[in-house]
Amino acid sequence: MMPTATHISLRTRYTQIRQQSEQLCAPLATEDYVVQPITDVSPPKWHLGHTTWFFENFLLVPYLKNYEVFNSKYPFFFNSYYESQGPRVHRSHRGNMTRPSVEDIYQFRTHVDRHLLDLIEQIENSSEAWADEARFTLEIGLQHEQQHQELLVTDIKYILGNNPLFPAYDPSDVDQGHSARPAGWIEVDAGMYQIGHESEGFCWDNELSAHQVYLQDYAIQDRLVTNGEYLEFMLAGGYDNYEYWLAEGWDWVKSLESKSPLYWYAVDGQGWHHYTMQGFRPVDLNLPVTHISYFEADAFARWKGLRLPTEQEWEVACRLTEPQIKGNFLEQQSWHPQGVGETEATQFLGDAWEWTASAYLPYPNYPRFKGALGEYNGKFMINQMVLRGGSVATPQSHMRITYRNFFQTDKRWQFTGIRLAR
């Protein structure tokens, strides 16, 4: 498990995070680095290059004296969405580029890392204003790379999971025969509650400013919805009854080739199987259902006569039941959500990102980052829904209870799941 920023030096933390990205790619063949099956999925080599460009562009170029960029053509390829940083390759074309090669990108990372460690030494030995600015940008860069570690895992899964050979990322054995206790309810009284980040540690601008909200009495389930529970919805014709679906969701359902969660396949005579990072496996009915769109999560809740929690309800319930950041995260290397068995685990943190019924919008007095980094979150606050809690692909040291993830309603290549409320 990676220590938190308060326990290790900035230099060590930078090195560990950068190495972890490369370790995630270690099981790949060279060909796996280049593939882009859909627009949402970027090639692994692009993630490795983009995070490196971030450090070079926002730290080395402005703060390290006499620094020369590794390749002046790379910003066009590795800029993601920063309008202030100039033109870039269209997102859907990232997989069309055979060059730079994977070898070139690793050389790029080595070059930037060497100079960045020099800059860190200067930052730590300076009390000038520029050093504070650089330290803040460096922290964003580290958090940014950890976000891309999650994307690496989920993008690699999509790349391998859409290969007809279903190659395993991690061929180790998977425990079978899990159990799941009956779902219970966490009752929360009506009242005023504090929402948002208010400690001294890092947070994204979209977690600010902390504010009070009034919540009515509500209850939220004490675990995630399982594959078995979701299969009941499927067998009951949930995908064929428009009454459970939002209008856009119903249009989306009719376009599906398979009316099931992503990676699920009906195998003749053998029941439902799905692709996991350990390969093609029977669906374990007692494990949390994942790779679910918002449309599916909302339809399932309606079918049950329940609803999805708001993000405020989710945050309050998590604070009351799981105040410590622990769970099934990237560091555990399980690569798949785990069951609760007969334990008291509530799964608020780790396992699967949980769709909420809240649109992704700014909090009151939202303090958007200044300059180019202001493009990081604020401009995406439209047509997306909030997810909470992290997943098996989220670095634990990157997670907070107040963390707000967000995706469009049809997205499901991330480890996304369901928790019900009433």
What span, in angstroms and rounded, lies between the C-alpha atoms of 334 and 351?
9
Q: What is the mean pLDDT of residues 102-118?
A: 98
Q: Residue 189 corresponds to which amino acid?
A: D
Of 110, 133, 107, 111, nearest to 122 by C-alpha is: 133
Using the predicted structure, report yes or no on whether residue 177 has a pLDDT greater than 80: no
Residue 285: other Cβ atoms inside 10 A: 18
Report pLDDT for 175: 66
Q: How confident is the model at residue 312 (pLDDT cuts 50, 70, 90)?
A: very high
Residue 192 CA from chain centroid, whole number: 29
The pLDDT tens digits of the residues spanning 15-42 come to: 999 999 999 999 999 999 999 999 999 9
- Cβ burial of 345 (10 Å; 0-12, 13-18, 19+) is buried
Q: Any residues with CB less than 8 A from the CB of 256 and at least 6 apart, and which? A: 239
Place of tokens 């509500």: 218
The pLDDT tens digits of the residues spanning 231-284 come to: 999 999 999 999 999 999 999 999 999 999 999 999 998 999 999 999 999 999
Task: Specify the DSSP class assigned to residue 116.
Answer: H
Q: What is the mean pLDDT of residues 3-22?
A: 83
Using the predicted structure, report yes or no on whether residue 4 has a pLDDT greater than 50: no
The pLDDT tens digits of the residues spanning 191-226 come to: 999 999 998 899 999 999 999 999 999 999 999 999
Q: How confident is the model at residue 7 (pLDDT cuts 50, 70, 90)?
A: low
Q: What is the mean pLDDT of residues 334-361?
A: 95
What span, in angstroms and rounded, lies between the C-alpha atoms of 35 and 43?
5
Report pLDDT for 3: 36
Residue 224: other Cβ atoms inside 10 A: 27
8 A C-beta contact, residue 186 and residue 220: yes
Task: Specify the DSSP class assigned to residue 30.
Answer: G
Q: How confident is the model at residue 174 (pLDDT cuts 50, 70, 90)?
A: low
Task: Specify the DSSP class assigned to residue 183.
Answer: P
Task: Specify the DSSP class assigned to residue 310.
Answer: P
Max mean pLDDT range (69-83, 161-175, 297-311) = 297-311
Of 122, 127, 132, 142, nearest to 66 by C-alpha is: 122
Length of the chain: 422
The pLDDT tens digits of the residues spanning 357-379 come to: 999 999 999 988 777 777 778 88
**The tokens of 2 are what?**
């990676």
pTM of the model: 0.95
Domain ranges of the chain: 10-161, 185-417
8 A C-beta contact, residue 325 and residue 396: yes
User: Whole-number mean pLDDT of the chain?
Assistant: 94
8 A C-beta contact, residue 257 and residue 244: no
What span, in angstroms and rounded, lies between the C-alpha atoms of 14 and 109?
12
What span, in angstroms and rounded, lies between the C-alpha atoms of 358 and 384?
9
Q: Which CATH architecture has domain 185-417?
A: Alpha-Beta Complex (3.90)
Residue 48 CA from chain centroid, whole number: 16
